[in-house]
Amino acid sequence: MSFIPNLFFFLLLIFAIYFFSKNISKLIRNIKIGRKIDRSDNKKKRLFNMLRVAFGQSKMVVKPVAGILHIIVYIGFVIINIELLEIILDGILGSHRIFAPYLGGLYNYLIGSFEILAFLVLISAILFWIRRNLIKLERFWKPEMKNWPKKDADYILYFEVILMLLFLSMNSVDSILQDNQYPGYIKAGFFPISQFIKPLFNAVDLYSLFILERLFWWLHIIGILIFLNYLYYSKHLHILLAFPNTFYANLNPKGMFEIDKNITNEVKIMMGFDNSNIENTGALEKLGVSDVFDLSWIQLMNAYSCTECGRCTSVCPANLTGKKLSPRKIMMDTRDRIEAVGYNISKNRGKFIPDNKQLLNDYITKEELWACTSCNACVDACPIDIDPLSIIIDMRKYLVMEKSEAPSDLNKMMRNIENNGAPWPFNNEDRLLWSQENN
């Protein structure tokens, strides 16, 4: 009957991987809702940008405290999970520290490194929680960070604290069983942190310690599998998407907008250009964006990649002066709309049934869009190169080009440009009258 725990673990692992793969498939489907855009150019520059920003965390350290803590958690997450492979193999095969005989002294060094990193991750997660909930940094307490977004951020920190405590507790009891040559526990590993937990178990008999070690082991691996499948529903999805997001980031100089060929063709037609000189782009597409179907797949990936850190909103001049705009909310609203559309598609067997809602007005208001100064501060501040401004500009384009719903001041300016060749309400003959006022 000793194979039953191994069989149960194998089935649990298969179920977790299956559920995770379903969520990833749903994520890919939802991102593909967006229109196609080609970002396959300049691969070397894109790869360097990904290595610098996503792997190197270069934009995180602009805020040193948060940057250093995040780097610790990031490195800890990557390196500690190397041991996950051993845990999985031990769970399937019923072995104990299967890599130890093959790695020799290097194994002790690795386990010691894992423990130190686990302790640093534990401290970092606690400090992150303090910053959010006791110090209450302003960017974590904006209106959009209530209810689920607030709970989600805390849940992730609780997950990290619990997983690290389970890891260290498991190692602590494991080392005691090793010291007492308990059957099945080979002498392996160096435990610089968990040794300080050992006194808590001094009064516990060996069999109870064995039960505790198994309990900690099971809770640790189940917690990891739960966290893996929690990613899709969490802002922590950026763990996976930060890398493609930075690879496919817009490499053009900030402030440079892409030319819409449809608009160019319309202008050429209005100006009487010969049709032979006008590029044929097929049927005329909607100008601008009113719903997620009009956004590019990269913009949709941006929305899913958002870490909700609020660095964009904290530097937004519109938000700082009390206006309604929050670039973080733009991304969160976009993601919420994608999820609503994705749920609609799943519910209706792969087909979207119109729900009388759209991103514009139902999620993002005109007031938010027109509050933007298009300064690119949000784009520059984002740790993983998300571009909220592109969504704002595309939605503005729709309001102006399709609905003629620009603010009155902007409409006046455009009429003046059309009639007078300048944004001011003076005709060409009167334009220099100001120079004669003091004569």
The pLDDT tens digits for 70-109 are 999 888 878 877 788 899 999 999 888 999 988 888 999 9
Same domain, 220 and 318: no
**Using 50, 70 and 90 to split pLDDT, how confident is the model at 438?**
low
In the chain, how many domains are there?
A: 2
The pLDDT tens digits for 139-168 are 999 999 999 999 999 999 999 999 999 999
Same domain, 371 and 293: yes
Cα separations in angstroms, 367 against 143, 260, 359:
16, 24, 14
Query: In this structure, is residue 101 part of a structural domain?
Result: yes
Among 6-10, 103-107, 330-334, which stretch is predicted with the lowest mean pLDDT? 103-107
Query: In this structure, is residue 384 part of a structural domain?
Result: yes
Nearest-CA neighbor of 86 among 163, 188, 202, 209?
188
pLDDT of residue 320: 95
Same domain, 284 and 354: yes
Contact between 413 and 423 under an 8 Å Cβ cutoff? The reply is: yes
pLDDT of residue 1: 46
Q: What is the CATH number of the domain that holds 350?
A: 1.10.1060
With H, G, I as helix, E, B as strand and everything else as coil, classify residue 364: strand
Return d(Cα 121, Cα 160) in angstroms, integer.
Answer: 8
pLDDT of residue 421: 78
Query: In this structure, is residue 437 part of a structural domain?
Result: no
With H, G, I as helix, E, B as strand and everything else as coil, classify residue 78: helix
Same domain, 285 and 222: no
Same domain, 74 and 222: yes
Query: In this structure, is residue 49 part of a structural domain?
Result: no
The pLDDT tens digits for 204-224 are 999 999 999 999 999 999 999
The encoded tokens of residue 13 equal: 């692992």
The pLDDT tens digits for 155-201 are 999 999 999 999 999 999 999 999 999 998 999 889 999 999 999 99
Strand partners for 364: 360
C-alpha dihedral, 323 to 325 to 329 to 335, nearest 10°: 150
State the residue for tokens 């608009």.
Answer: 263
Angle formed at CA 45 by CA 41 and CA 46, multiple of 5 degrees: 70
Same domain, 144 and 107: yes
With H, G, I as helix, E, B as strand and everything else as coil, classify residue 356: coil
**Mean residue pLDDT across the chain:** 90
Same domain, 115 and 191: yes
Does residue 304 or residue 64 have the better pLDDT? 304
pLDDT of residue 404: 83
With H, G, I as helix, E, B as strand and everything else as coil, classify residue 372: coil
The pLDDT tens digits for 351-379 are 999 999 999 999 999 999 999 999 999 99
Same domain, 230 and 265: no
Same domain, 221 and 331: no
Give residue 177's domain range: 3-31+63-234
